[in-house]
Structure 1
């Protein structure tokens, strides 16, 4: 169901040129008529607004956690903004951390920046989009290498609802089965499709969205 909150987030992404329509290729190699690029957030107002959306999603799920992780690179500003908004909006002061793509070989060294996870910590992941689950499979070894931590929840901007590596299962279903992670999304591709159909000017795009969803989405 397309709620007012979802409408606001879709329009927020479009205003920031983060949700775009055209011809694109996803990380998984699929040709898609829409693309979500959180790297296009570029102003203080945008990152502050984004943090509020994410913080609201995290807060409203009611999940318990000890720290927040943002995978490099796009997860870094996301987890930072979310942590700040959680405190400003809900007075929840949670530690956060992220990784470097390459380990630092001077100073303190290591590949993690920010909070240092300890055994027993419950960690949530703050990411942008899951298409085929590739990024999650790259992230989990990083978390497991930093201690005996658990990860039960992940928060993303858009659930593309796409089939993963196995027929009949979305990437998000696979992530839950493989890692025990529940993925929470601010919006889904169906929400975006519903928003487009409710606004004029997208008549040529709708058949492309429908064809893509019929081919890849579950």
Structure 2
């Protein structure tokens, strides 16, 4: 019981530390998503930054889409199940970055998705997101069959032969183009889910309660033996 007491206290303290970390994370993300859009960080910074370090940074990029390299990635959103329309954007500084243009309903084909891509110059404002290598929790990406369950930019670039791309993608919030595409329906942008579960206080109180019960049990056993 003494060992259990120590373990429960340690778990409670750990959850308190996690609570402070989560609140710092939420504050940092809230500041990023409401900030004025910045330029996409340099290639060196993107390559050296730890995974997710730049998540939800609000950026604005301009360039032209490579519509033939469009891919559809399985998605479940508030609008239902369907796909994310992923298309590489060749930006003015010579780099390529994948854009999640938004949600398309189930049944949409890659050809139909590509037809919704604006020709000519386009400006996209959105959030930087880390690449999602491998696939989803239950299903792996199958590049050979053009079946995608996660937004793995390296695998997409290789499968679609779009050339080297930034190690992140951008979740589009707005898309402004000089010319509009004829294809319909257009992807629905702005569906980025920004939610971080914050149950650490509840967990901490649970562990501290278990520690208190362990202390009571120790007292009961001690008295009986005495």
TM-score tier by shorter-chain length is: under 0.3
**What is the TM-score of this pair, normalised by structure 1?**
0.25
Q: What TM-score, normalized by structure 2, do the two folds share?
A: 0.25
Identify, as 1 or 2, the structure richer in helix.
Answer: 1
